[in-house]
Amino acid sequence: MRKMLIPAVVLLAFAGSVPVLIGQINAQEASPTSIASVGVSAVLMGSTETDGAPGYTMYLQELTFEPGANIPRHTHSGTVLVWVDTGALTFTVYAGELVVTRAPVGDAAGVVETFGAGEVAVLEPGDSSSEQGGEYMVDNATDGTTITRVATLGKTGAPFLDFVQPEE
């Protein structure tokens, strides 16, 4: 496999068909931007270096997926937690695991499911997932807009994600 590094926290983006490089931004400067693919926009809600994990930075973002939008096959330098607010996302697992916690029902805790390579998970409102060290593709699973909150603990200065292209 060949990896393509994407610099910056809020990545290489496409506004229509014109590429736009978005650099690192502070929460005070946060504004809607596109990440990874046409139809996916990100707002950096905040970031901080952590005393508890030297060399790592925590980020909080809101990602909005328009109908048909996706983030192609990729990896992360750390741990990513995704929570679905509205709509639904399909995660395709290529390597590693995706741990999904289903939305709680009543007073019962959410059911935890683990998806491995070759499996597909659909997250709906209130569901969350944890990615760590695997390879994934994410698609908007609805005809409407999907909104998520994403918390990331990644190596300071590392790209938010690395795109992965299978060898031919």
CATH of the domain at 91: 2.60.120.10
Give the residue carrying structure tokens 């983006």. 13
Domain housing 15: 2-165
Tell me the β-bridge partners of 64: 41, 147
Torsional sign, CA 43, 49, 52, 54: positive
Q: Give the mean model confidence (pLDDT) for residues 110-132.
A: 97
Q: Give the mean model confidence (pLDDT) for residues 9-18.
A: 29
CB 95 within 8 A of CB 134: yes
Distance CA 76, CA 78 (A): 5
CB 130 within 8 A of CB 81: yes
Q: Give the mean model confidence (pLDDT) for residues 128-154.
A: 95
Quote the pLDDT of residue 64: 96
Nearest to 127 by CA among 83, 79, 81: 83
Phi, then psi, of 40 in degrees rounded to 5: -120, 120
Q: In what order do the strands lie in the sheet with 79-86?
A: 33-34, 40-49, 56-65, 146-155, 79-86, 128-132, 97-101, 112-116
For the chain, the domain total comes to 1
Checking if the pLDDT of 27 tops 80, the result is: no
Kindly report which listed range (13-22, 63-72, 95-104, 139-148) carries the lowest average pLDDT score.
Answer: 13-22
Write the pLDDT tens digit of every residue in 31-50.
333 354 679 999 999 999 98
Checking if the pLDDT of 145 tops 50, the result is: yes
Quote the pLDDT of residue 41: 92
Checking if the pLDDT of 74 tops 80, the result is: yes
Quote the pLDDT of residue 35: 52
Q: Give the mean model confidence (pLDDT) for residues 103-125.
A: 96
Alpha carbons within 13 angstroms on the beta-carbon side of residue 109 total: 5
